[in-house]
Amino acid sequence: MSELPGYVGYPWVGDNSLEFYRDPVHFMEKRIQDYSSRIFQARFINRPTVFVGSAEAVKKLLNEKTQHFDMGYKALWQGLYGENVLFSDGTEAIALRALLIPLFNREAVSGYQNTVERICDRTLQSIPAGKPVKVYELLKQMSTEISMGLFLDIEREADNSLGPHVSQLMTQHWHGIISMPANLKLPTWGGNWESGYSKAQEAKDELLQIIRDRIGKNKHNNVLGLMKTAGFRSEDEIYWHLLLFVSALVPKAFSSLFTSFTLQLAGPSKASMRQKALEDETFLEHILLEVQRLWPPFIGGRRLVRQEFTLAGYRIPKEHGLMYVTHTAHRDPQIFPEPHSFKPERWSTCNAGHEGYLCAFGGGPRRCVGTQLVQLVLKHVTKYLLRNFHWEVTQAEIPPYKWLPVSRPTVEDQVIFTPRDSSGEEVEMGVEVAETSL
């Protein structure tokens, strides 16, 4: 058993959080090179923290070592979310997951399909032909409407004023979440903590009130109805989980994936890849795996070590923090040859059967509860785009990405969508597209 490479420094003065928040990819790459190890330690949020960027070690960690650590979000976010499964551990987490999983398994999700598709299609049908579109913003708006439709039963047409108000509250709540490290007198991800945090608290209270009202009024067998009868111990527990689901975190993550998909498949040079994805569902799935591998929406996940254990031959000390860094693990050359290249075909060749090395949705017993729902939305939206459009980006090259708080290009990329006719050819610009060809 070896000691971890790296320095944990002294409280506060030795903290590396600012460097991590500024550029987490560089933070990881530099240390991996310096220590010749994809696992190392550094002081982060003023705690000695183990950073794990090896695909093999992350897989082991999430699947086989969970009894040795707790989730690491409670101190940061509980004030803005209340109690929910993400902050719970041990038997409590098992019990909450047992209530949530039946609400989001394949069968349950197929019951939400109509709502999801109706909301998506409204936005997708409104994409203007031949004009530059801010794709991240457009798809974030659509994903926000999906969240509001599913988790609050609000749809734009029916609740004209409530939708925009909830959307604004979600943003206000989000600003408190991304400035949370300032709570610990650390660098922020943007914004002024004092005002950002208290405004976020106000947004939380109002969102909880809206959730209460919506669930009280609801008479349908939708997510709200199912949450009510799922067996949660208290009404507050239901409201807190719905607050987590309607949080801006989820729409931003959706939009991050849609944006990366759109940018990667843009332009005439990708026309044959788009055509193949349209005809071959497995190939589309491989594209989506490759998108989440290279551009996972969240940089990683945080844990607190409860009991010393060994990982990849290193001693992981009790009370250390722990970060599994998804971006780094997904680009580990030990598992993914040519790790920085977008190669969907790897999933049927050198990386066939290696889906278990991906952790964009976490893994093991704490894997994301919403993955089936995410798959439904991703498939519907990407198929719609492939079926109905060719598209290209307005810039010569895709701008570099920022990775926090959610991955996306540093400059808002504009995409021009051109309708396809039913033969797959581009429709001449300015010609109205018949409904039947969409």
Q: Is 297 in the site for ligand HEM (CB under 6 A)?
A: yes
Q: Name which of 331 and 420 has its Cβ closer to ligand HEM.
A: 331
Tell me the site size for ligand HEM, rule CB under 6 A.
23
CB of 70 to ligand HEM, least distance (A): 11
Judged by CB under 6 A, the residue of 28, 39, 52, 85 near ligand HEM is 85
Judged by CB under 6 A, the residue of 51, 81, 239, 254 near ligand HEM is 254
Q: Look at strands 69-71 and 309-311 and give their pairing.
A: unpaired
CB of 369 to ligand HEM, least distance (A): 4
Q: Which of 213, 243, 211 is nearest to 79 (CA)?
A: 243
Q: Is 93 in the site for ligand HEM (CB under 6 A)?
A: yes
For 389, counting Cβ atoms within 10 Å of its Cβ (0-12 exposed, 13-18 middle, 19+ buried), the class is buried
Number of other residues whose CB lies within 10 A of the CB of residue 435: 7
Contact between 330 and 56 (Cβ < 8 Å):
no
Could you report how far apart the first and last alpha carbons of the chain are, in Å? Answer: 60
Q: Look at strands 300-305 and 321-325 and give their pairing.
A: antiparallel
Interacting span for ligand HEM (CB under 6 A) from 173-181, 214-222, 251-259, 425-433:
251-259
Q: Is 376 in the site for ligand HEM (CB under 6 A)?
A: no
Judged by CB under 6 A, the residue of 24, 53, 163, 301 near ligand HEM is 301
Q: Is 227 in the site for ligand HEM (CB under 6 A)?
A: no
Residue closest to ligand HEM, measured at CB = 370
Q: Name which of 304 and 416 has its Cβ closer to ligand HEM.
A: 304
Q: Is 287 in the site for ligand HEM (CB under 6 A)?
A: no
Tokens of 12: 């506060």
Q: Name which of 163 and 300 has its Cβ closer to ligand HEM.
A: 300
Q: Is 58 in the site for ligand HEM (CB under 6 A)?
A: no
3-state helix, strand, coil in the chain (%, to 5): 55, 15, 35
Query: 52 - beta bridge partners?
Result: 39, 324
CB of 296 to ligand HEM, least distance (A): 7
Judged by CB under 6 A, the residue of 362, 405, 409, 419 near ligand HEM is 362
Q: Name which of 4 and 100 has its Cβ closer to ligand HEM.
A: 100
Q: Is 368 in the site for ligand HEM (CB under 6 A)?
A: yes
DSSP 399: P
Q: How many residues would you count in the chain?
A: 438
By CB under 6 A, the residues from 342 to 361 that bind ligand HEM are: 360-361
For 231, counting Cβ atoms within 10 Å of its Cβ (0-12 exposed, 13-18 middle, 19+ buried), the class is exposed
- What CA–CA distance (Å, rounded) separates 206 from 208? 5
- What CA–CA distance (Å, rounded) separates 12 from 351? 42
Q: Is 298 in the site for ligand HEM (CB under 6 A)?
A: yes
Q: Is 104 in the site for ligand HEM (CB under 6 A)?
A: yes
Q: Is 406 in the site for ligand HEM (CB under 6 A)?
A: no
Q: Is 109 in the site for ligand HEM (CB under 6 A)?
A: no
Tokens of 391: 């598209």
Q: Which of 260, 254, 279, 282 is nearest to 387 (CA)?
A: 279
Contact between 145 and 257 (Cβ < 8 Å):
no
Query: Which residues of this chain interact with ligand HEM, rule CB under 6 A?
Result: 85-86, 93, 97, 100, 104, 245, 250, 253-254, 257, 297-298, 301, 360-362, 366, 368-370, 373-374
